[in-house]
């Protein structure tokens, strides 16, 4: 008879078919789940994020027990005296008599290192298994990246489409092209009302966690009122189903649109659940492809959505594991400004920033364009320090885990990796925000003015950013036109930009 094994399930591994549970013997193996103070506080996560993760963990443990598994669940109160996973797991290993511990590889480099060191020192057999919930393994990505100077998502994504036959017909992309982005950049009409997001009233398990976080973590960022997220797989499936029926058809059209006091729009709100393991990326992609086949959603929407999950999500994960630990240290533009207080809710007259921070504070959610073109764009233009920006994004969003947060911050918004991910920095003036949102209509600044006290700060910060980073960016072919325009400006115009930027940044500091 094989000896009993301990199966460790981490907070973002809430999938019944996770590799660490394969071949489990329900009679004698023990599943261990731990709520750890060290994980809840290594950055001061948003209160709603803590509730989401801990409540989903407790519900998952309940499901496992109902299915007849032996589960050891350690709550925050039980684990307080252990400073890290390893000591907690060692303690349970010793107490349970198991000499073999099975773990699916964690999503964060920091934890993987801890586990690998533990493998070297432990008397027990510590078995690390691949996380096969992704469609591309870290080795697949390494093979694809081999010998490439730039790692563009688009080509990686096409490979995966071919490999899995997703939206393919006789070896060619359905619709005759790989990408329908050009149809996907519409501003949202004022009279269009997006469907309300799915809501789930907290049950007693969630309510206990809300009370715990309210009293135990009062200083963490974010509002806790009105927690209504899914915390079980059944609920997450309802969110998926609602998205496919009600939002997917217009997802593509309004993917880049922003609206005052509504971050949800036609987005899926699925990242919380996919990243926790409650939904599998494969089933989400399949649901969207089926909607297209059944003519319930158009191709521009379905392709645009599938590209986010099959393309971007898999790609950032591959890049993270390929580049860590050096990726974290990247600071190509030598940015060193402390992150301004407005990211933590300090008053700002810039309405777009105020709206996006407020959405984030209330919901632990903002959609992609808010994260990229408002909050990220501003951090890029002012030269915010990458370490502080990374920490902010990691703690404020309920879907944030380092493997997905860091490439988006280092590569996509800050160009801190020198262009490994993005062919140029996503820098933009106020005109972009004005075109894609209603924020400017309610702002004290004038988006049409280029310089001076009333001018939209994005306008002069954009040119000041290009001027400041000329040495690193001028040779970038995709910035050729921008630099030609900068060079054509009169000395007076350039000086006015620099003066406006100097005054603004001084006040910001």
Ligand X SMILES: Cc1cc2nc3c(=O)[nH]c(=O)nc-3n(C[C@H](O)[C@H](O)[C@H](O)COP(=O)(O)OP(=O)(O)OC[C@H]3O[C@@H](n4cnc5c(N)ncnc54)[C@H](O)[C@@H]3O)c2cc1C
Q: What angle do CA 11, 28, 34 make, to 5 degrees?
A: 20
The half-sphere exposure of 432 on its side-chain side, counting CA atoms within 13 A, is 17
For residues 181-206, one letter each, b for 16 or more C-beta atoms within 10 angstroms of the residue's C-beta and e for the rest, the string is: beebeebbeeeeebeebbebebeebb
R_g of the chain, CA atoms, integer Å: 24
x/- site string to ligand SF4, residues 361 to 400, per CB under 6 A? ----------------------------------------
Nearer to ligand SF4, 352 or 406 (CB): 352
Nearer to ligand X, 98 or 372 (CB): 372
Secondary structure of residue 129 in the 3-state scheme: strand
- Least Å distance, CB 251 to ligand X, is 7
Binding-site partner at residue 447 among ligand SF4, ligand X, none, CB < 5 to 8 Å by type: ligand SF4
Q: Which of residues 380-439 bind ligand X (CB under 6 A)?
A: 393, 397, 399-400, 404-405, 408-409, 412-413
- Least Å distance, CB 258 to ligand SF4, is 10
Under the binding rule (CB under 6 A), the answer on residue 433 touching ligand SF4 is: yes
Rounded Cα–Cα distance for residues 48 and 258 (Å) = 22
Rounded Cα–Cα distance for residues 217 and 281 (Å) = 32
Rounded Cα–Cα distance for residues 77 and 95 (Å) = 18
Using the contact rule CB under 6 A, the part of the chain among 393-401, 414-422, 428-436, 490-498 near ligand SF4 is 428-436
x/- site string to ligand X, residues 347 to 386, per CB under 6 A? --------------------xx--xx---x----------
x/- site string to ligand X, residues 253 to 292, per CB under 6 A? --------------xxxxx--xx-----------------
Rounded Cα–Cα distance for residues 59 and 14 (Å) = 9
- Please give the size of the binding site for ligand X, defined by CB under 6 A: 28
Binding-site partner at residue 393 among ligand SF4, ligand X, none, CB < 5 to 8 Å by type: ligand X
Rounded Cα–Cα distance for residues 321 and 324 (Å) = 6
Give DSSP secondary structure letters for 429-489.
-HHHHHHH-SSGGG-SSBTT--SSTTB-HHHHHHHHHHHHTHHHHTT-GGGHHHHHHHHHS
- Least Å distance, CB 455 to ligand SF4, is 8
Nearer to ligand SF4, 232 or 434 (CB): 434
The backbone torsions φ and ψ at residue 168, rounded to the nearest 5 degrees and listed phi first, read -120, 150
Q: Which residues pair with 30 in a beta bridge?
A: 6, 70
Among 20, 136, 184, 434, binds ligand SF4 (CB under 6 A): 434
Among 167, 297, 443, 486, binds ligand SF4 (CB under 6 A): 443
Nearer to ligand SF4, 285 or 455 (CB): 455
Under the binding rule (CB under 6 A), the answer on residue 153 touching ligand X is: no
Tokens 């030598």 belong to 334
- Please give the size of the binding site for ligand SF4, defined by CB under 6 A: 14
Nearer to ligand SF4, 451 or 476 (CB): 451
Rounded Cα–Cα distance for residues 296 and 478 (Å) = 38
Q: Let me know: does 55 contact 206? Beta carbons within 8 Å.
A: yes
x/- site string to ligand X, residues 298 to 337, per CB under 6 A? -------x--xx--xx--x---------------------
Using the contact rule CB under 6 A, the part of the chain among 48-56, 238-246, 399-407, 454-462 near ligand SF4 is 454-462
Residue 127 host element (H or E): strand 125-129
Secondary structure of residue 409 in the 3-state scheme: helix
The token pair at 106 is: 């964690």
Under the binding rule (CB under 6 A), the answer on residue 255 touching ligand SF4 is: no
Closest residue by Cα to residue 190 from 500, 16, 484, 437: 437
Secondary structure of residue 261 in the 3-state scheme: coil
Give contact residues for ligand SF4 (rule: CB under 6 A): 350-352, 430, 433-434, 439-440, 443, 445, 447, 456-458
């Amino acid at each position: 008879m094989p000896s009993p094994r301990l199966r460790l399930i981490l907070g973002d591994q809430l999938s019944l078919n996770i590799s660490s549970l394969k071949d489990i013997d329900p009679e004698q193996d023990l599943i261990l789940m731990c709520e750890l103070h060290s994980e809840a506080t290594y950055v001061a996560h948003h209160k709603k994020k803590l509730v989401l993760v801990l409540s989903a963990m407790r519900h998952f443990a309940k499901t496992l027990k109902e299915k007849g598994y032996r589960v050891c669940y350690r709550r925050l109160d039980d684990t307080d005296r252990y400073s890290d996973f390893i000591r907690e797991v060692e303690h349970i290993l010793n107490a349970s008599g198991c000499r073999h511990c099975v773990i699916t590889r964690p999503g964060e480099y920091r934890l993987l290192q801890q586990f690998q060191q533990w493998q070297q020192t432990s008397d027990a057999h510590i078995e690390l298994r691949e996380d096969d919930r992704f469609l591309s393994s870290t080795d697949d990505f390494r093979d694809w990246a081999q010998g490439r100077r730039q790692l563009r998502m688009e080509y990686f994504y096409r490979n995966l489409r071919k490999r899995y036959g997703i939206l393919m017909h006789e070896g060619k992309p359905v619709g005759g092209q790989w990408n329908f982005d050009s149809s996907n950049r519409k501003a949202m009409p004022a009279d269009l009302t997006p469907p309300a997001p799915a809501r789930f009233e907290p049950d007693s398990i969630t309510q206990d966690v809300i009370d715990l976080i309210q009293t135990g973590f009062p200083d963490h960022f974010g509002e806790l009122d009105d927690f209504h997220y899914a915390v079980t797989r059944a609920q997450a499936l309802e969110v998926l189903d609602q998205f496919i029926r009600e939002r997917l058809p217009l997802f593509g059209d309004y993917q880049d649109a922003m609206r005052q006091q509504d971050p949800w729009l036609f987005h899926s709100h699925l990242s919380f659940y996919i990243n926790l393991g409650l939904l599998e990326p494969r089933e989400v992609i399949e649901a969207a492809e089926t909607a297209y086949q059944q003519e319930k959603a158009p191709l521009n929407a379905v392709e645009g959505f599938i590209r986010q999950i099959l393309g971007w999500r898999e790609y950032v994960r591959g890049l993270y594991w390929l580049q860590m630990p050096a990726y974290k240290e990247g600071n190509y533009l030598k940015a060193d400004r402390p992150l301004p207080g407005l990211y933590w809710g300090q008053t700002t007259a810039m309405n777009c920033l105020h709206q996006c921070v407020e959405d984030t504070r209330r919901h632990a959610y903002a959609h992609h364009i808010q994260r990229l073109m408002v909050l990220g764009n501003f951090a890029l233009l002012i030269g915010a320090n990458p370490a502080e920006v990374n920490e902010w994004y990691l703690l404020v969003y309920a879907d944030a885990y380092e493997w997905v947060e860091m490439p988006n911050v280092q590569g996509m918004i800050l160009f801190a990796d020198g262009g490994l991910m993005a062919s140029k920095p996503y820098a933009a003036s106020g005109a972009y925000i004005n075109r894609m949102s209603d924020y400017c209509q309610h702002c004290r600044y004038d988006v049409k003015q280029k310089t001076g006290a009333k001018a939209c700060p994005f306008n002069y910060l954009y040119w000041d950013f290009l001027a400041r980073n000329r040495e690193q960016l001028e040779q970038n072919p995709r910035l050729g036109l921008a630099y030609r325009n900068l060079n054509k400006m009169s000395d007076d115009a350039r000086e006015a930009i620099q003066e406006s930027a100097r005054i603004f940044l001084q006040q910001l500091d």
